[in-house]
Amino acid sequence: MDYTEALSKVLCAPFSYLFSPRERIYFLYLFTSLIIALVVERRSRSAEASLSATVAKVFPREIYTHSSSVVDYLYFLCNSILYLFILLPFGGFALIVTEQCTKLLALIATPTASVGPFSLWVTVGVTLLMALVVDFGTFFAHVLMHRIPVLWEFHKVHHSAQVMTPLTVYRMHPLDDGITLLINSTLVGVADALFRFFVSAQASPYLVAGISVVTVLFYVFGYNLRHSHVWVSYGPVLSKILISPAQHQIHHSTARRHWNKNYGFTFAIWDLLFQSLYVPKEREEIEFGIGKQEEREYSSPLRLYFLPFLKAGKLLLKKKKRALLFSGKQPSKNS
C-alpha cells in the first residue's frame, strides 16, 4: 500500500462508518431510528401537524447546531482516524485469552466438548451466552467509570454533552473505550474457551455481517435514539429486560434522582440485579450534562482528549490512593 492509498483510507474513515454494519451509525440503523422517531413524534403532535413540522421536531436546529454538537462532530472526525491506531491492539486480545484459557483447562480437566445433532441449539446457546457476557462486561466497565473517581474524570467526556445526537455515542475518551474493550475481551475469551472446551469445540455465535445477531437487532430497533431528545420508552415490563432510549437519556440526566441509574447497554437485567434500574412511569423533562460550570471546560476536541489527564492527575495528587478506590456514590456532576 503506497502513501496515497493509505492517506485516502484514513481520510475516508469517518464516512466508512455509514456503510459498516459493525458501526452504530450504519445507515440502516440510522434509517430505522428515524422511522421510529417520526412515528413517535407524529403521535405526540396534533393530527393536523404537517410532515415537515414533525421532521423539524425530530431534527431541531437548536440541538444540531448547538456548540456541544459541533464539538461532537469534530471529535468524531478525529476519533474515527485515531481509533484505528489507539484501539487496534485490543482487537485480538480475546483470541489470546481464549487460547491461553483453553491451554489451562487442558491441564486441569478432560475436554467434554462434542458436536452432536443439536448443533443449532449450540449456536443459539453460544450466541445468547456471548451477548450476555459482552453486555455484562460493558455494564461492569460502565459502573467502574462512574464509581472510581479517577476513571470518572475520563468518562466525564461522554457526559459533558449538553445536547445529544447519534454522534454523541462517539464522544468517548480513548482510555474509556480501551478499558471497556479490555474487560470485554477478557470475559469473552474466558467464556469462549469454557464453551468450546465443555460444550462444542466448533461453537461460534450466529453473526450478521461479522457481528452478533443480537447486537444487530438491538441497533435496528431504535438504538440511535438513546443519544437524542426523542423519548422512546419500552413500558414498565420490557424496560426491566431491555434498556430503552428513554432509560439511557435518564442516565445522562443532571438530576440527582437519576444518578447511579441505568448503566446497562442492551439488557436491563444487570441494573435490576444490582438495584440501579430506573424505569420511568411517564415522560420526564431531562437536562443533559455535568453542570453548566464544568461543561464549559469541554469546549473543543483537544480539551476532550487532554483535560481528563489533567483532572485525573490533580485528583491523584490531592487524594492519592483514595482516587483509585471504588466509591459508593456517583462523583459530583456539578463539581
Q: Where does the pLDDT of residue 113 fall: very low under 50, low under 70, confident under 90, or very high at 90 and above?
A: low
Judged against a pLDDT cut of 80, whether residue 108 lies above it is answered with no
**Do 29 and 220 touch, CB atoms closer than 8 A?**
yes
Q: Where does the pLDDT of residue 335 fall: very low under 50, low under 70, confident under 90, or very high at 90 and above?
A: very low
Residue 75: the pLDDT is 96
Q: How many CB atoms lie within 10 A of CB 284?
A: 16
Residue corresponding to grid cell 477478557:
186
Q: Is 45 helix (H, G, I), strand (E, B) or coil?
A: coil
Judged against a pLDDT cut of 90, whether residue 12 lies above it is answered with no
Least confident of 4-8, 176-180, 214-218: 4-8
Q: Is 134 helix (H, G, I), strand (E, B) or coil?
A: helix
Residue pLDDT, tens place only, 114-169: 555 557 788 888 899 999 999 999 999 999 999 999 999 999 999 999 999 999 99
Q: Where does the pLDDT of residue 199 fall: very low under 50, low under 70, confident under 90, or very high at 90 and above?
A: confident
**Do 126 and 207 touch, CB atoms closer than 8 A?**
no
Q: Where does the pLDDT of residue 334 fall: very low under 50, low under 70, confident under 90, or very high at 90 and above?
A: very low
Residue 52: the pLDDT is 87
- Write out the three cell numbers for 141: 466497565
Residue 213: the pLDDT is 94
Residue corresponding to grid cell 437487532:
217
Residue pLDDT, tens place only, 16-51: 899 999 999 999 999 999 999 999 988 876 656 688
- Write out the three cell numbers for 256: 440527582
Residue 120: the pLDDT is 78
**Do 178 and 240 touch, CB atoms closer than 8 A?**
no
Residue 67: the pLDDT is 96
Residue 244 is given by DSSP the state: -
**Do 61 and 256 touch, CB atoms closer than 8 A?**
no
Residue 255: the pLDDT is 93
Give dist(CA 329, CA 143) in Å, integer. 11
Residue pLDDT, tens place only, 263-321: 999 999 999 999 999 999 999 999 999 988 888 999 999 999 999 999 999 988 887 66
- When comparing pLDDT for 306 and 195, which is higher? 306
Q: Is 9 helix (H, G, I), strand (E, B) or coil?
A: helix
Q: Per-residue pLDDT averaged across 205-216, rounded?
A: 89
Residue pLDDT, tens place only, 45-98: 665 668 888 899 999 999 999 999 999 999 999 888 887 666 666 666 667 777
Pick from 79, 67, 300, 318: nearest CA to 175: 79
Residue pLDDT, tens place only, 248-262: 999 999 999 999 999
Distances from the Cα of 13 to the Cα of 9, 19, 163, 182, 224, angstroms: 6, 10, 25, 23, 20
**Do 170 and 77 touch, CB atoms closer than 8 A?**
no
**Do 264 and 137 touch, CB atoms closer than 8 A?**
no
Pick from 47, 275, 76: nearest CA to 166: 76
**Do 142 and 263 touch, CB atoms closer than 8 A?**
yes
Taking the CA atoms of 18, 262, 268 and 192 in sequence, report the sign of the dihedral they define: positive
pTM for the model: 0.89
- Write out the three cell numbers for 225: 435514539
Q: Is 274 helix (H, G, I), strand (E, B) or coil?
A: coil
**Do 171 and 329 touch, CB atoms closer than 8 A?**
no
